[in-house]
Amino acid sequence: MNRYWPIALILCLASAGQLKAQLQATGLWRTHMSYRDAKICQATDEYVYAASFSGFFRVKQSSGEMQKLGTQDGFAGLEVTCLNYYPSARCLFVGYADGNIDLLFDNHSISNVPGFAQKALIGDKRILDVSFHEDYALVSTYFGLLVVDLQRHEIKDS
């Protein structure tokens, strides 16, 4: 038994440099959210976007590769309540529970329309649904309708 100790000690020391306690470096964050139950889905030409109760993500149609999305990617809100795609403008409309609106053009360029979210209103500002007509998004909320200009990225009327 004593003759195997030097060999075991050498193997342990040699493999100690290969072992890591963490895959993530100290000081960096990693999310562990459930993306299992999507409540809203919307397909574009290249991706399928989905929102679950704990996150927002997209799946590339050609490869099945999933990408988590959030504020670190430039999106304004956390709880997505509305998704709709307008093929003519190549625009994905993203509405949030706090009234914020993001417009994602060509799956890459994000433009925030914060006007409604910044209004001093008491009550639920959640974005309920959206329809499109020409260059405008017609947005329904509990406070009424908003008209968002997709060219100028602003609220035209409420």
Mean pLDDT for each 10-residue chunk of the chain (158 residues)? 66 60 61 70 93 86 91 87 94 92 93 79 87 94 90 83
This prediction has a pTM of 0.76
pLDDT, position 60: 93
pLDDT, position 109: 93
Alpha-carbon dihedral angle through residues 116, 121, 127, 129, given to the nearest 10 degrees? -100
> What single letter denotes the amino acid at residue 36?
R
pLDDT, position 120: 74
What are the pLDDT digits (tens) for 49-95? 999 877 889 999 999 999 999 888 888 888 899 999 999 999 999 99
Phi/psi-derived region of residue 78, left when phi > 0, alpha when psi is between -120 and 50, beta in every other case: alpha
Cα–Cα separations (whole angstroms), residue 125 to 7, 24, 83, 98:
68, 37, 16, 6
pLDDT, position 2: 66
pLDDT, position 130: 95
Q: Please state, in angstroms and rounded to a whole number, the distance separating the CA atoms of residues 118 and 51.
A: 23
Q: Please state, in angstroms and rounded to a whole number, the distance separating the CA atoms of residues 37 and 28.
A: 27
pLDDT, position 94: 94
Residue 25 DSSP class: P
Q: Please state, in angstroms and rounded to a whole number, the distance separating the CA atoms of residues 69 and 51.
A: 10
pLDDT, position 104: 95
Q: Please state, in angstroms and rounded to a whole number, the distance separating the CA atoms of residues 32 and 24.
A: 13
Q: Please state, in angstroms and rounded to a whole number, the distance separating the CA atoms of residues 41 and 109.
A: 20
